[in-house]
Amino acid sequence: MAASADGEKHESQYKHIDLNGNVFELPTYTMKDIHAAIPKHCYQPSTLRSMAYVFRDFFYASTLIYLAVTYIPLLPNIYLRAAAWVAYTTVQGFVFTGIWILAHECGHGAFSKSKKLNWTMGLIMHSFLLVPFHSWRLSHSQHHKGTGNLEKDTAFVPHTRHSWLQRNFGEKARENMIEFAELAEDSPIATLWFCFIHQFFGWPGYLLFNLTGQDYDGAKGLRITHFYFGEDSVFYKKRELPLIALSDLGVAVMIAALVWAGQVFGSLNVIVLWGIPWLWVNNWIVAITFLQHTDATMPHYNNKTWTFARGATATIDRDLGFLDTHFFHDIIGTHVCHHLVSTIPFYHAAEASVHIKKVMGSHYRADTKTPFWTAFWRNQRTCMFVEETEGAEGSGVFMFRNLYARKGEAKPRNLVDKIPEKAEEKSEEKAPSVRATAMSSGARRLSQSAQLRANLPLLAEA
């Protein structure tokens, strides 16, 4: 097909390359095709079945607490007791995460046909885990409406090259600073530290500070927290503010209950029995959602190219075996289906996925071979930012890239040859101060290898 009169290419004329070096083709199916393929009974939630899972998970949680406080103190030595407490907090973390996911079902209306029951059970279960239910429900709905859209998604907005440089090297960092080729060396220690912070504090950070969300024109402070019910909130409309206040009240009641329990049963007991499993919930929610939306094959779009069907399928299914199918209510293995039709109950999602795959064909993404934590580590180190493929500028399709020039990975766009001579000289003048900033971070190292410097892509201003 020929280019348009203004010289702009048709989207079919662009060639997009994912981080693995494979060609990515834009999906052409529609939501009508998806809905038609799913059996009607898959859309129907069962209140009885959903409530049974709630009772089951809370039965697991209370039984674990009873067994822990009754039998672990009877173990004959400190090493056995320590091992038993580690086992308890780990398994309880699985159970708590399942409760979080059931509240997630309530937020999507997939728990029951009754909105009142959905909201009541969601408020109870999320408040138990210090999550403001309606605040999360409303912003999460916007995430689903704009998944994969760099301008509309509210939860998983990947870095551009420019924002990634600024996060790692400071606000003075610019793409026209050539010496970043020497500062981009991969550091496993830095990745490990980032993963620790990301896993255990990323979820509260999102709720409190909108981490990984949209910029909202630089809004800061209370306006970008999920707990704020002022009229100038960036998330919520005026009519929704009473629900935000109700969600805050639910969290406040749970905090009060924890304080009371600490006074009655001892703070250390509360920390071990509830607090550490709660940290495990943070870990699992962040890890699961990160891997659902981050992969070397994953596209992102701007408004020009995005459609709901394309954005909803810019997700990937993975496998965590029994943990997922039993404790995590299959949220890891059926996430593509969940984004396409979020009102399908989790216990019907596997069946619906079989029919969805027939429509999606090669566009359906799943990685069931790579171990979960292997995929997590790999993607944390490789999927640094998104940009358009070299030669596909203006296409509105962005693929993951990094500056590490690893073998077999698609290289980022070469911006060096496109900078004016004066801009290059200006970057050299600024280089010492930025280099000093980067060296002082302690989380990354200067490369001393001439071969590495030769292979790393150079940076310049677009």
CA torsion through residues 267, 268, 274, 280, sign: positive
- Write down the pLDDT at residue 180: 55
- Write down the pLDDT at residue 345: 98
- Write down the pLDDT at residue 85: 98
- Write down the pLDDT at residue 427: 46
C-alpha separations of 416 from 71, 181, 404, 447, 457 in Å: 65, 11, 16, 20, 9
- Write down the pLDDT at residue 454: 39
DSSP 108: T
Query: Residue 1 is which amino acid?
Result: M
Residue with tokens 């989790």: 346
Residue with tokens 């672990």: 72
What distance in Å separates the CA atoms of residue 303 and residue 301, rounded to the nearest whole number? 7
Q: Domain segments of the chain: what residues? A: 44-311+367-401
Residue ranges, the chain, pLDDT below 50: 1-5, 7, 178-179, 181-184, 423-424, 427-428, 430-462
- Write down the pLDDT at residue 415: 67
Alpha helix stretches (DSSP H) within 146-187: 161-169, 180-183
Q: Cβ distance 112 to 47 under 8 Å?
A: yes
C-alpha separations of 392 from 295, 310, 388, 395, 439 in Å: 20, 18, 6, 6, 35
397-401 vs 385-387, strand pairing mode: antiparallel
**CB-hemisphere CA count at 13 Å for 284?**
25
299-301 vs 397-401, strand pairing mode: antiparallel
Q: Is 217 helix (H, G, I), strand (E, B) or coil?
A: helix
Non-local (6+) Cβ contacts of 99 within 8 A are 54, 57, 58, 61, 125, 128, 129
> In terms of Cα–Cα distance, which of 347, 350, 357 is closest to 333?
350
pTM for this entry: 0.85
DSSP 389: P
Structure tokens at 250: 């639910």
C-alpha separations of 226 from 136, 234, 241 in Å: 7, 9, 11
Q: Cβ distance 14 to 399 under 8 Å?
A: no
What distance in Å separates the CA atoms of residue 212 and residue 422, rounded to the nearest whole number? 35
> In terms of Cα–Cα distance, which of 227, 206, 272 is closest to 65?
272
What distance in Å separates the CA atoms of residue 230 and residue 228, rounded to the nearest whole number? 6
What distance in Å separates the CA atoms of residue 402 and residue 368, rounded to the nearest whole number? 24
Q: How far is CA 215 from the centre of its chain?
A: 16
| Residue-wise DSSP of 275-298 | IHHHHHHHHHHHHHHHHHH--TT-
- Write down the pLDDT at residue 235: 87
- Write down the pLDDT at residue 305: 94
What distance in Å separates the CA atoms of residue 19 and residue 100, rounded to the nearest whole number? 33
What distance in Å separates the CA atoms of residue 404 and residue 412, rounded to the nearest whole number? 10
